[in-house]
């Protein structure tokens, strides 16, 4: 195999591949990226046995072929090469070496045979549809903060993507929860997605998928089966196993009878919470909200470190209420608001609180209160 490729093109392709590779590997081949050169393009394939990413890039291929080499090391070398360099990769199969040359630099890396590289089994996808990158980005970005990190409840370690019944008909919905907070985000149902099986997309996959969604003009081809999900652009294909478990019935925890309505500027609220939480104890991070007519007082009283309070002008017309929350949860939820105002709907100090952006019901968040 012998090929030449622009550094910037190579770096972009390798960046996605090497981030899938696990740093600590018991199987040496999993630390490698499979490089396949043919025609006028080269593909880079990396896997951790749960996720597989294939990145294609244009190159000048002199001799077609394939080999595998350390993903992280190759990425580091290319990253440190000067801008605008033309990188040439040539494989010496007999010596088991890949030579990288650019300008006056020459590197030689050990290779492993391509036959040892595990390729993810292809599966029949029962549902195929296309979605615009900004829509998918919104769905996953706004939901991912609520993904659970508890390994014991593995079925909560991802985002549940499924078709649901929204207020104006069927929607594509993403839900994530860790038992303390919940995010439910809706988007218009793409054509062809109607019969899609509900799948739990793992946390790592959500992180890798995010890198495909930066281009606002891009259209992502989504394929879903009971066991796998695939997201593809013309240059990158990301295939992942889904979490084998049943996502709990989240509709039961979304309150419908909360009537006490607080409307507040989201960024002012987030900044105020952040300020008063500075003195809260690390463990509980509790912040108390005291509400009366058009007035909100945020306070923290920590016996070990001190106290803080801040008053905000808000729109609130119901009876007095005192309720406590974990500051981190409030900050994460408030930072999801794109518009100016966040609307909180309370019931009592012990019941879950609902938050949304203005009157928009396509993004709904639930947070559990705590005793303060």
Q: 299-309: per-residue pLDDT in tens?
A: 999 888 889 99
Which residues of the chain carry a pLDDT beneath 50? none
User: Residue 256 to residues 78, 259, 346: CA-CA distances in angstroms?
Assistant: 54, 9, 10
The angle formed by the CA atoms of residues 141, 143 and 146, to the nearest 5 degrees, is 125
The pTM score is 0.93
Helices 71-80 and 7-20, axial angle in degrees (round to 10): 150
| Those residues with Cβ within 8 angstroms of residue 176's Cβ, 6 or more apart along the chain or in another chain | 143, 144, 145, 146, 147, 148, 156, 158, 159, 160, 182, 183
Q: What is the pLDDT of residue 100?
A: 97
Q: What is the pLDDT of residue 90?
A: 97
Number of Cα atoms under 13 Å in the Cβ half of residue 221: 9
Q: What is the pLDDT of residue 197?
A: 95
Q: What is the pLDDT of residue 168?
A: 86
Q: What is the pLDDT of residue 280?
A: 86
**Residue 210 CB neighbours (<10 A):** 14
Q: What is the pLDDT of residue 121?
A: 84
Q: 239-250: per-residue pLDDT in tens?
A: 999 999 999 999
Q: What is the pLDDT of residue 158?
A: 97
Q: What is the pLDDT of residue 78?
A: 97
Contact between residue 289 and residue 300 where contact means Cβ atoms under 8 Å apart: no
In order, the DSSP letters of 238-286 are: EEEEPP-S----GGGGS-S---EEEEEEHHHHHHHHHHHHTTS-TTT-E
């Amino acid at each position: 195999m012998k090929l030449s490729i622009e550094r910037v093109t190579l770096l972009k392709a390798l960046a996605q591949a090497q981030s899938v590779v696990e740093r600590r590997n018991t199987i040496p081949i999993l630390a490698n990226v499979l490089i396949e050169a043919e025609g006028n393009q080269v593909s880079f394939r990396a896997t951790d046995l749960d996720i597989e990413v294939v990145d294609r890039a244009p190159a000048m291929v002199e001799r077609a072929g394939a080999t595998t080499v350390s993903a992280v090391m190759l990425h580091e070398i290319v990253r440190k090469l000067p801008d605008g360099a033309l990188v040439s990769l040539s494989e010496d199969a007999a010596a088991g070496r890949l030579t990288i040359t650019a300008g006056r630099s020459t590197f030689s890396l050990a290779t492993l045979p391509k036959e040892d590289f595990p390729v993810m089994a292809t599966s029949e996808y029962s549902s195929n549809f296309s979605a615009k990158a900004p829509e998918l980005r919104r769905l996953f970005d706004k939901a991912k903060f609520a993904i659970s990190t508890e390994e014991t409840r593995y079925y909560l370690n991802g985002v549940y993507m499924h078709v649901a019944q929204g207020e104006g008909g069927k929607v594509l919905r993403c839900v994530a929860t860790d038992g303390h907070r919940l995010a439910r985000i809706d988007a218009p149902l793409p054509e062809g997605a109607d019969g899609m099986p509900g799948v739990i997309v793992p946390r790592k996959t959500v992180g890798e998928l995010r890198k495909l969604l930066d281009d606002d003009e891009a259209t992502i081809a989504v394929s879903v089966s009971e066991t796998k999900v695939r997201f593809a652009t013309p240059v990158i294909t990301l295939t992942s196993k889904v979490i084998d478990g049943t996502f709990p019935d989240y509709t039961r925890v979304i309150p419908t009878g909360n009537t006490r309505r607080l409307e507040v500027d989201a960024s002012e609220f987030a900044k105020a919470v952040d300020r008063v939480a500075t003195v809260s104890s690390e463990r509980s991070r509790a912040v108390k909200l005291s509400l009366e007519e058009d007035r909100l007082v945020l306070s923290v009283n920590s016996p070990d470190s001190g106290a803080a309070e801040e008053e905000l002008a808000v729109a609130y017309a119901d009876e007095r209420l005192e309720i406590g929350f974990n500051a981190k949860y409030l900050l994460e939820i408030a930072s999801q608001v794109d518009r100016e105002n966040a609307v909180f709907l309370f019931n009592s100090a012990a019941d879950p609180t609902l938050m949304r952006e203005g009157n928009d019901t396509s993004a709904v968040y639930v947070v559990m209160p705590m005793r303060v």
